[in-house]
Structure 1
Amino acid sequence: MGGDVAMTCLLLAPLLLPTSAIRMLHTMKDLSTTGYGCPNPRHGLQLLRWLAQSVIYFDNNGIMRARFLDNQYGFHYYGNYENILPTLHWDQQYFEVGNLNYNGADALPYSVRAAYDQRQGTSYEYNMDRIVVQRRRNSNEIGAVYITEHQPWSGTLNSQNTFRISPDLIRSLQSPSRATSFQHQYHGNLQFNNQAIHTSRFQVSPSQDQTFCVGLCWCLCLLIIFIFAMIFLGASSGGKKW
């Protein structure tokens, strides 16, 4: 009996746990570790900066509130069908923004839409970044802000690249000077890292090239020694009389 109860509890435990453990980003340094919105032509970082500076504000009690209507700027209901985000209380809803093809998204500022409007080709990176906000029904109170992205060539969100933005980080992004300085540094570092990652798949760096040559020389030397050793052993065996 006790064993059956324990087994039942183990089986039900995953259902009683939160649907996901989403990392909270508190600082710009935290944000820089995610790679969100980079490299170009992705628009997520510009989208987040616009949201912090033009849509979200804090009331006198420090509560986040938002200036947007349904379908304005492309905001639309998000049903959390992938079960990536926490399940909401009945008086809360999720709204998604960032799909540059959605009705109303043409009202987003040029800084957000620039790469998409001038795009060449059909790369999914032009329109993969999303932001989801949790808003109280019949109110403009914001309970949470999440950054995320679509899976390549898919309509589903990427749970591995979904993060929650803290109110403190929203406040930091509301400072134009800090946001601009961070954005330049963020893009530069991520573009450099991304280029290094992609280049390393097809090219060998000078240091790697030198290491490779040294290793190849050692392998050739060992191969030559092995061949001479085998010849010597063969000759020795041939000279013996049994």
Structure 2
Amino acid sequence: MMKTSRAVIVTCLLTLAALNCVSAIEEINSIKDLKRIYSNKSLPMHSLTLLHWFANNVDIGTNNVVRLSFNPNRDFGSHRYCNYERLLPSAPQGYQFYTVGNVNQPPGDIDRKFPEYVLYPRVRESRGTGRNRDRIIVSVQAQTVSQVYLTQHFRQEDNRGSEYDRDHTFNISTNLLQQLRQFSFNDNTQSLQELRDQFDQHITDNQLNDLINISGRDQAPLELLYLIVVPQRINLVEVCRPNRRWA
């Protein structure tokens, strides 16, 4: 009887440990959190571009309900994710996990018929560089999203196959998606100044003007997001000023 009780206790402890391991996924709730994550973790800019792309390819209702604007079974190379390695907490009943972000997926009919359904060039530029590791995983039921995660595959040299790296997996809040949507592509200089003032007042007017001149007004919101989240890129803007011979 005592052996049985011990076995039950051990089983319960192991179950609790597994549940804690699955649930211990850090949430990114704001751009301020993004800055902290990028300063503490080794994350490629590709993952930030992927997040920006996702935030601007979903619909968010007034009640903060997130809905996909694309087919997770097909568009952008997205497909089912079964969570076999228990990377994530179980999806709510009736929801299924899908993953998106693989730039090596061959173009489908949706790409040819609707070019606007192709991932950003900046997302796809990782093709062939060995950096095609970042993914977004969502739990979806009838286009309604209940959970959003940013993750990445292990490196090839880690010999972990197609597993995802738990240490680089984050829960993405609706609030962060709303903030990222403020950086949608546009040519409104005034809105860029307002975003700078809201999220990073250390970026000077000269740096903002250099950014616009280098990237173009319509692409500047994404470049501004880069500068806010990864301030070290300001040095790159300084180097690439248009009035320099080798810009």
Normalised to the residue count of structure 2, the TM-score between the two structures is 0.64
Identity of aligned residues (%): 28
Match of 1:62 in 2: 64
Residue-by-residue CA offset, 1:7-28 (whole Å, 9 max, x unaligned): 5224323324523311111111
The alignment partner of 2:14 has SS state of helix
Judged with a 3 Å threshold, the aligned counterparts in structure 2 of structure 1 residues 170 and 37 are, in CA distance, closer, same or farther, namely: farther
Equivalent position to 1:134, from 134, 139, 152: 139
Q: Which of the pair has more CA radius of gyration?
A: 1
Match of 1:91 in 2: 94
Following the alignment from structure 1 to structure 2, what is the Cα–Cα distance between the partners of residues 190 and 149? 22
User: What amino acid maps onto 2:66 in structure 1?
Assistant: M
The alignment partner of 1:33 has SS state of helix
Structure 2 gap segments, 5+ residues each: 112-117, 184-191, 196-220, 236-247
The alignment partner of 1:143 has SS state of strand
Following the alignment from structure 2 to structure 1, what is the Cα–Cα distance between the partners of residues 129 and 64? 40
> Which residues in structure 2 correspond to 1:131-210 (within 5 Å)?
131-136=136-141, 139-153=142-156, 154-176=161-183, 177=192, 178=195, 180=222, 181-189=224-232
Equivalent position to 2:32, from 19, 29, 34: 29
Residue 123 of structure 1 and its aligned partner are, at CA, apart by 4.3
Does the Cα contact within 8 Å between 2:227 and 2:233 map onto a contact in 1?
Answer: no
Does the Cα contact within 8 Å between 1:72 and 1:104 map onto a contact in 2?
Answer: no
> Which residues in structure 2 correspond to 1:203-222 (within 5 Å)?
none
Alpha-carbon RMSD across the aligned residues, in angstroms, is 2.7
Equivalent position to 2:120, from 96, 109, 124: 109
Residues 1:20 and 2:23 aligned together: yes
Number of aligned residues: 181
Normalised to the residue count of structure 1, the TM-score between the two structures is 0.65
Match of 2:83 in 1: 80
Judged with a 3 Å threshold, the aligned counterparts in structure 2 of structure 1 residues 37 and 75 are, in CA distance, closer, same or farther, namely: farther
Following the alignment from structure 1 to structure 2, what is the Cα–Cα distance between the partners of residues 68 and 88? 20
User: What amino acid maps onto 2:97 in structure 1?
Assistant: Y
Residue 191 of structure 1 and its aligned partner are, at CA, apart by 9.8
Match of 1:198 in 2: none
Match of 1:9 in 2: 9
Following the alignment from structure 1 to structure 2, what is the Cα–Cα distance between the partners of residues 71 and 191? 38
User: What amino acid maps onto 2:168 in structure 1?
Assistant: N
Q: When you count helix as a share of all residues, which structure comes out higher?
A: 1
Structure 1 gap segments, 5+ residues each: 193-242
